[in-house]
Amino acid sequence: MSEKEKFLERILKISEPWYIEKLEELTAEKELHIYLKYPRKTRFACPRCGALCSTYDSSWRIYRDLDIHTFKTYVHIKLPKIKCCGETPTIQSPYARENSHFTFLMEENILKLAKMSSITKVSNYIKEHDTRIWRVLIYYVNKCRAKANFSSVKNLGIDETSKKGHNYITTFVNLDTRKVLYVANGKDHKTIYEFISDFKAHGGNPEAIVNVTSDMSLAFEKGIKECLVNAKIIIDKFHVVKHANDGVNKVRIEESKNNILLKKRNISGSEIMIA
């Protein structure tokens, strides 16, 4: 084994029975391909019963790994098949999850990048289609949400947002921990019903909610009163201030039409603006 292969085994944390069979450097494409193989007559544990079994077939899988220097790095791994328990399962790669295009190290990197930037920028940075990036995020978000426990939630925040006035979504937040509990499409009272269904599925008790902050939406008010019977509705201060400012501005516009002190006017050669 060359020194380069030994170095790559250390940084990629390659362990027995796999070893680097060969390296392929594509200088023009700036790609590095690493081929992992296992010794002949290696026996693998059955994923169901744990019995050690001989292999009878194998197939190659390829995963994108962290770049090495400026080279896009791909790991090709030979995965064996065994016969046991009446089935012929393929042994799962220890370096990547099933049905993923990336190694665990690359997925970890994607998750870190996604916290700091948009998916489009992450996609451009690592030079992968954004669909693959979204699949990684969706998998781990669903995995974490499956473990979520909402039994201690008592104070809830509800707000809607949109992009350029279209495609509204409604977010539900635990005000004590400032963590998002659920995101629903739309902004009507049905989003409350949708949230309640998910809330109960994660151990939440709608009757334990004592405070709910929201805007002045009548749709939200309808859903809250029907589903969160013990909750007190609190209009959040952002919307109170916004409505107050909108009201003041509306009066200012009307007054400025007839009051010369509220609009720009030339008086004795000097211009003044009072607002």
The amino acid present at 51, given as its one-letter code, is A
Average pLDDT rounded to a whole number, residues 247-262: 77
- Residue 236 predicted with pLDDT over 80: no
pLDDT of residue 262: 63
With a CB cutoff of 8 Å and minimum separation 6, the contacts of 144 are: none
- pLDDT at res. 268: 44
pTM score, whole prediction? 0.75
Using pLDDT thresholds of 50, 70 and 90, give the confidence band for residue 106: very high
Rounded average pLDDT over 92-112: 94
Whether residue 113 has pLDDT greater than 90: yes
CA separation, residue 41 to residues 52, 53, 77, 91 (Å):
11, 10, 17, 15
Look at 114 and 11; give whichever has higher pLDDT: 114
pLDDT at 273 over 60: no
Mean pLDDT of 218-224: 88
Query: Tens digits of per-residue pLDDT, 63-87?
Result: 999 998 889 999 999 999 998 888 8
pLDDT at 38 over 80: yes
Contacts 24+ apart (CB under 8 A), 139-143: 139/97, 139/100, 140/107, 140/111
The residue with greater pLDDT, 148 or 4, is 148
Return the percentage of the chain with pLDDT > 70, whole number.
Answer: 93
- What pLDDT shows up at residue 165? 67
**Share of residues in the chain with pLDDT > 90 (%):** 59
The DSSP-derived string for the chain is --HHHHHHHHHTT--TT-EEEEEEEETTTTEEEEEEE--TT-EEE-TTT--EEEEEEEEEEEEEEEEETTEEEEEEEEEEEE-BTTB-PBPPPTTS-TT-SB-HHHHHHHHHHHHHS-HHHHHHHHT--HHHHHHHHHHHHHHHHHT---TT--EEEEEEEEETTEEEEEEEEETTTTEEEEEEESSSTHHHHHHHHHHHHTT--GGG--EEEE-S-HHHHHHHHHH-TTPEEEE-HHHHHHHHHHHHHHHHHHHHTT-GGGS-EEETTEEE---
What would the mean pLDDT of 210-232 be, rounded to a whole number?
90
Rounded to whole angstroms, what are the CA distances from 206 to 154, 199, 211, 216? 9, 8, 11, 21
- Residue 264 — pLDDT band, cuts 50, 70, 90? low
Summarised one tens digit per residue, pLDDT across range 128-172 is 999 999 999 999 999 999 999 999 999 999 988 887 767 899 999
Band of residue 270 on the pLDDT scale cut at 50, 70, 90: very low
Between 250 and 181, residue with greater pLDDT: 181
Question: Residue range 261-267: average pLDDT?
Answer: 55
- Residue 271 predicted with pLDDT over 80: no
Model pLDDT, residue 6 = 79
